[in-house]
Structure 1
Amino acid sequence: MKADLIATRQSILNGEIHPQAVAEACLDRAQSSACKDVFLELTPETLLETAVQAAPFESPLAGLSVSIKDLFDVQGQVTTAGSIVLQNRPPASNDATAIKRLKAAGAGLIGRTNMVEFALSGVGVNPHHGTPAAWDARTEQAVGQQHQAHVPGGSSSGAAVSVATGAAFIGLGSDTGGSIRIPAALNGLVGFKNTARLVPTSGALPLSTTLDTVCALTRTVRDTVLAHEILSNRTVPSAHRPLAGFRLAVVNTLMQDQMDAQVGRAFERSLATLRSAGAQITDIDLPELLELAPMMSTGGFSPAEGYAWHRQLLEKDGARYDPRVAQRLLRGEGMMACEYIDLLQARAHWIERMTLALQNFDAVLSPTTPITAPKFSDVAPGKERDAEFFRVNGLMLRNTSVVNTMDGCGISLPCHQAGDFPVGLMAWHGAMQDDTILQLALVLEPLLN
């Protein structure tokens, strides 16, 4: 595994390496076959210019490479959200808030990453710009030839592969139903979805104004803490609580259903490892999770709120959308105002019940996704594969979307063994429990690795 951002920054401060050399190495990776279909636009001049300046050396990011999901406005660049429908938009006149904060911290922006069109899928497929191949960031090589033909997860697909391959140290992305944590799990990375309100979404093209969250992918938890502190403009307090000091739950309801064999083995092995290290883990039933499907039966937030933004574009240019994305957005066309208001109220009551049910625990542990990365050939664009695509997409989003619906926070940590396809373990809880989840993740990471 490549050195993380914090270790690389320390090497820069020690005079062992110059940021320009690091930037050039990242650009080499970005232009290699490992990053095929990862970047929609590379900005080598921007990265190198930041790296050669003296000022960033003392900054948190020290001019190191950060990739930007094609969802965020960068002044002078066109934000297309992975679509061809928006390719003729004028360049952004201002930076998104997240971009401003990254630049202020000394980030070297390497380029814009590919994504699921308009961020509306957890699989990672893009019919317009190609689909990056999932990558095993732990071994720095594909797990056999078949690995190259597996999807990276979405919607922050390019962001994940840019970090896993070494082209970037941080991949800025978004998480509306799992779009950071799913690709983290499928690429052996750390992906943290903070409480949505902690990071402004201004300058990011919206999908769901209720659920959209700005966050990032990294290689290690300590890099994740740094990225979150920059994006949220706050400090995560240090803590020295031992593993036994955390009250942990494992949910038997829904979240372990339909696990494939590799995920099942990795999850059970991880729980056994944590228990042997002193973790106090309680198995619980959480029947509230069974209420989610009926609650979302009229379409859910993303189609309703997404359709509100897209309706004129769909009328004018709907034939140029990814048909699967258009199909999901059009579900929002039929939602009545009363149904939307009912959904808002149902969610609020559900959050209250979930908060009460989990009040005695510091975090819940579950598989990030119940399956490993599917083969691209099984879910590639084409009507004949639509049924399998939507089945896989539902499975991919099932566990992670619980956290978004709860307005909570969650982190995906790699928990697979070397040689296996990447698997993620998710630690999560409700709103504003971010510090506890990050502190726990720092304790879990060395045990899971």
Structure 2
Amino acid sequence: MDLLEAKHLLETGKTTPLALLEEALERAKAYADRNALAYLDEERAREEALRLTEELKRGQTRGPLHGLPLTAKDLFPVKGMPTRAGTRAPLPPLPEEALAVGRLKEAGALIFAKTNMHEVALGITGENPWTGPVRNAVDPTRQAGGSSGGSAVAVALGIGLASLGSDTGGSIRIPAAFNGVVGFKPSYGRVSLEGALPLSRSTDHGGPLAKTVRDAHFLTEILAGESIPLEGPQNPTFGVPLDFLEGRLGVGVRKAFTRLLEDLPGLRATVKEVSLPLEGAYEVYTRLVRYEAARIHEKALKEHPEGFSPQVREALLAGLALTEKDYRDAVAEREVLRLKLVKALRGVDALLLPAQPLPAPPLGAEEVELESGRKSHREAFITLTLPFSLLGVPALALPFAKVEGMPVGLQVVGPYAEDGRVLAIGGWLEARLR
């Protein structure tokens, strides 16, 4: 059941907020081995669900999400719940509740749990020495992806109807793709991150993980506090950046993606090869994000370095060693890359490319095999998603095939502020890929 189906059942009296919550709690117990949840107070959640149920019986609704159980990634403060962001290091001061969480609650959502994540959102595997690895929803021996891994697994397994995540380099899209759900990274600034723990203020994005594109659209409007009209072409023209993808995919994903490109003309879409020369994007992104992240965690890094796991501590220390000039250079180089992306999007409705080079790897994988040879896990996976966070444009991940029995995701990328177009095209694809 997706979010809008559940909403319809509530509105027609065929279920209650309490019944929806009980189902989510049952699934949380059944799939406790996946380690999706960071915090859950069942008693308190039931009390709130009962209040929402009673209100509905009296004909009162708080808003369009009334009584729908959702989760939030553990870097979003939620009133009455702890925020640990997957680390043992002290966090900078945070408010009682993040603005995005407040918007969901004002719309009537029942935020009943926090989801596990890669430590301080600095990583894409979902493996965390402090909280344990989040395990893939389809195959628990594989990675869930990060940093919003718990959110993706919760949605995939029905532990709540959707989740609030964040994406700095792929942290919504990679876990969504690994677990066979939809993840949307809106345009930079569309969803406020006020009150959430930042990683990289100039690159962080908030957005939903959901079962369907229509659910993602519905939630994004509520999170953004504004209408986002779905305005997409009936017969889209897709730009495929084959130069950018050269050597960056595994054999199975390459075959699945090629098959999709061959099928699209039969679905009345046009496929056009475009050039996306983003040389240096990986290095620019790494410099920029680590510099900003190190300044956010500087006090804890100096006073309680043992609170960070060795891998995260090493990345933050590397960021602390960067100079202001290094950072300014990265910001300037980002502007050059931005112009290249604008050029690639001219004459097409959206870019189309895989969200991942390979199916979710086994837990503990540090290197993977691509067409171009062995690559570090981070470089192999984040290279496909980071340009669109770095450059702040809307990017949607949705399932499109199975490789080795595992879901793999497709990215739809549009120009800045064209969130409605990206979601409309995503809906077009979703209807045909099913």
Size of the alignment, in residue pairs? 423
**Aligned runs of 1:142-291 on 2, under 5 Å?**
147-239=139-231, 241-242=233-234, 244=235, 246-287=236-277, 289-291=278-280
Secondary structure of the corresponding residue to residue 13 of structure 2: coil
User: Is the alpha carbon distance of 1:100 and 1:285 closer, same or farther for their aligned partners in structure 2, counting shifts above 3 Å?
Assistant: same
User: Is the alpha carbon distance of 1:414 and 1:173 closer, same or farther for their aligned partners in structure 2, counting shifts above 3 Å?
Assistant: same
Aligned to 2:352: 365
Q: Quick one: distance in 2 between partners of 1:200 and 1:389?
A: 38
Aligned to 1:435: 420
Identity rate, percent = 32
Q: Quick one: distance in 2 between partners of 1:222 and 1:236?
A: 12
Q: Does residue 327 of the first structure (1) align with residue 319 of the second (2)?
A: no
Q: Quick one: distance in 2 between partners of 1:156 and 1:201?
A: 15
**Does the 8 Å CA contact 2:21/2:160 hold for their aligned counterparts?**
no
Letter in structure 2 aligned against 1:132: V
Secondary structure of the corresponding residue to residue 148 of structure 1: coil
Letter in structure 2 aligned against 1:253: D
- Residue of structure 2 aligned with 1:306, choices 293, 298, 304: 293
**Does the 8 Å CA contact 1:273/1:447 hold for their aligned counterparts?**
no
Secondary structure of the corresponding residue to residue 395 of structure 2: strand
Deviates more, 1:267-276 or 1:336-345: 267-276
User: Is the alpha carbon distance of 1:160 and 1:361 closer, same or farther for their aligned partners in structure 2, counting shifts above 3 Å?
Assistant: same
Secondary structure of the corresponding residue to residue 327 of structure 1: helix
Secondary structure of the corresponding residue to residue 401 of structure 2: coil
User: Is the alpha carbon distance of 1:389 and 1:74 closer, same or farther for their aligned partners in structure 2, counting shifts above 3 Å?
Assistant: farther
Give the Å deviation of 1:46.
4.0
Q: Quick one: distance in 2 between partners of 1:356 and 1:424?
A: 25
Deviates more, 1:299-308 or 1:254-263: 254-263
**Does the 8 Å CA contact 2:34/2:136 hold for their aligned counterparts?**
no
- 1:85-127 Cα offsets, whole Å, 9 max, x none, are 238x98x652110010010111111211110000001111111
Letter in structure 2 aligned against 1:228: T
- Residue of structure 1 aligned with 2:78, choices 66, 70, 74: 74
Letter in structure 2 aligned against 1:105: A
Q: Quick one: distance in 2 between partners of 1:19 and 1:273?
A: 42
Deviates more, 1:354-363 or 1:94-103: 354-363
Aligned to 2:98: 96
Normalising to structure 2: TM-score of the pair?
Answer: 0.92
Deviates more, 1:30-39 or 1:12-21: 30-39
Q: Does residue 353 of the first structure (1) align with residue 351 of the second (2)?
A: no
Q: Does residue 422 of the first structure (1) align with residue 407 of the second (2)?
A: yes
Letter in structure 1 aligned against 2:112: I
- 1:36-80 Cα offsets, whole Å, 9 max, x none, are 321111032343333332446743223111111110111233211
Secondary structure of the corresponding residue to residue 73 of structure 1: coil
Give the Å deviation of 1:82.
0.6
Aligned to 1:9: 7
User: Is the alpha carbon distance of 1:292 and 1:281 closer, same or farther for their aligned partners in structure 2, counting shifts above 3 Å?
Assistant: same
- Residue of structure 2 aligned with 1:65, choices 62, 69, 79: 69
**Does the 8 Å CA contact 1:34/1:165 hold for their aligned counterparts?**
no
User: Is the alpha carbon distance of 1:275 and 1:35 closer, same or farther for their aligned partners in structure 2, counting shifts above 3 Å?
Assistant: farther
Aligned-CA RMSD value: 2.2
Q: Quick one: distance in 1 between partners of 2:189 and 2:386?
A: 16
Deviates more, 1:26-35 or 1:398-407: 26-35
Give the Å deviation of 1:182.
0.2
- 1:233-282 Cα offsets, whole Å, 9 max, x none, are 1112144731x1x2210001233523223312321222233221010110
Unaligned runs of 5+ in 1: 137-146, 381-387
**Does the 8 Å CA contact 1:35/1:165 hold for their aligned counterparts?**
no
Give the Å deviation of 1:421.
0.5
Secondary structure of the corresponding residue to residue 15 of structure 2: coil
Q: Does residue 408 of the first structure (1) align with residue 393 of the second (2)?
A: yes
Q: Quick one: distance in 1 between partners of 2:163 and 2:87?
A: 19
Aligned to 2:370: none
Secondary structure of the corresponding residue to residue 416 of structure 1: strand
Secondary structure of the corresponding residue to residue 356 of structure 2: coil
**Does the 8 Å CA contact 1:365/1:427 hold for their aligned counterparts?**
yes
User: Is the alpha carbon distance of 1:281 and 1:157 closer, same or farther for their aligned partners in structure 2, counting shifts above 3 Å?
Assistant: same
Secondary structure of the corresponding residue to residue 197 of structure 1: coil
**Does the 8 Å CA contact 2:77/2:98 hold for their aligned counterparts?**
yes
Give the Å deviation of 1:371.
1.2
Q: Quick one: distance in 2 between partners of 1:238 and 1:344?
A: 32
Give the Å deviation of 1:204.
0.6
Secondary structure of the corresponding residue to residue 359 of structure 2: coil
Unaligned runs of 5+ in 2: 368-372
Q: Quick one: distance in 2 between partners of 1:25 and 1:295?
A: 45
Give the Å deviation of 1:157.
0.9
Aligned to 2:380: 395
User: Is the alpha carbon distance of 1:123 and 1:432 closer, same or farther for their aligned partners in structure 2, counting shifts above 3 Å?
Assistant: same
User: Is the alpha carbon distance of 1:327 and 1:6 closer, same or farther for their aligned partners in structure 2, counting shifts above 3 Å?
Assistant: same
- 1:126-178 Cα offsets, whole Å, 9 max, x none, are 11111121113xxxxxxxxxx22100000001111111110111111100000
User: Is the alpha carbon distance of 1:99 and 1:390 closer, same or farther for their aligned partners in structure 2, counting shifts above 3 Å?
Assistant: farther
Letter in structure 2 aligned against 1:277: L
Give the Å deviation of 1:416.
1.4
**Does the 8 Å CA contact 2:37/2:113 hold for their aligned counterparts?**
yes
Give the Å deviation of 1:186.
0.1
**Does the 8 Å CA contact 1:123/1:396 hold for their aligned counterparts?**
no
Deviates more, 1:209-218 or 1:342-351: 342-351
- 1:380-406 Cα offsets, whole Å, 9 max, x none, are 9xxxxxxx9981122111111010122
Deviates more, 1:21-30 or 1:177-186: 21-30
Q: Quick one: distance in 1 between partners of 2:283 and 2:365?
A: 28
Secondary structure of the corresponding residue to residue 357 of structure 2: coil
**Does the 8 Å CA contact 1:51/1:62 hold for their aligned counterparts?**
no
Aligned to 1:142: none
